[in-house]
């Protein structure tokens, strides 16, 4: 039985990201990060599992490379990794749409790794999250 060769991940640049796409691997630098207030969950009736619910933490981080920038939505422990000035490798990242604009995210199927500082300057004037997309239904 032949062993499956591990495929080398294909890395993309920020400018190549498109709405509704997934499975992206990219190296980006964190430009800034701001916490987003999360509404407190309403108290549910007493349930069998009385474990305390940890509040969610969300931060919107501007990340980018030498081709462009995009807003990355960091959740919970991801917030601690996404510090301004840090270079990270995003593995299996996806594009979420939020109010008609693209947001980069890494869910439970992906990974964020802090890596060596990159030697590129983030192209902030090509911010893909500032482009508004309109949902168009195609008639068949």
Residues 10-28: pLDDT tens digits?
A: 899 999 999 999 999 999 9
pLDDT at site 114: 98
CATH number where 21 lies: 2.40.50.140
Residue 77 Rama label (left phi>0; alpha psi -120 to 50; beta): alpha
pLDDT tens, residue by residue, 72-99: 999 999 999 999 999 999 999 999 999 9
| Count of structural domains, the chain | 1
Position 102 in a domain: yes
Residue 76 domain boundaries: 14-36+55-123
Q: Is residue 44 part of a domain?
A: no
Does 128 reside within a domain?
no
Taking residues 63-79, what's their average pLDDT? 97
Question: In this structure, how many other beta carbons lie within 10 angstroms of the beta carbon of residue 58?
Answer: 14
* Nearest residue to 91 via CA among 107, 75, 72, 79: 107
Domain assignment present for 4 = no
104-136 per-position pLDDT tens digit: 999 999 999 999 999 999 999 999 999 998 877
What is the pLDDT, as a whole number, of residue 139? Answer: 75
Residue 71 falls inside a structural domain: yes
pLDDT score for 55: 64
50 domain residue, yes or no: no
């Amino acid at each position: 039985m032949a062993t499956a060769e591990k495929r080398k991940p294909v890395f993309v640049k920020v400018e190549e990201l498109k709405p509704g796409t997934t499975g992206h691997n990219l190296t980006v630098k964190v430009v800034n990060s701001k916490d987003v207030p999360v509404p407190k969950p309403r108290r549910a009736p007493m349930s069998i599992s009385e474990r305390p619910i940890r509040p969610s933490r969300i931060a919107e981080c501007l990340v980018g490379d030498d081709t462009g920038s995009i807003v990355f939505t960091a959740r919970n422990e991801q917030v601690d990794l996404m510090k301004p000035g840090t270079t990270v490798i995003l593995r299996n990242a996806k594009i979420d749409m939020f109010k008609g604009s693209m947001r980069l995210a890494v869910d439970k199927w992906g990974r964020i790794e802090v890596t060596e500082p990159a030697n590129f300057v983030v192209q902030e004037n090509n911010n893909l999250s500032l482009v508004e997309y309109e949902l168009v239904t195609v008639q068949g």
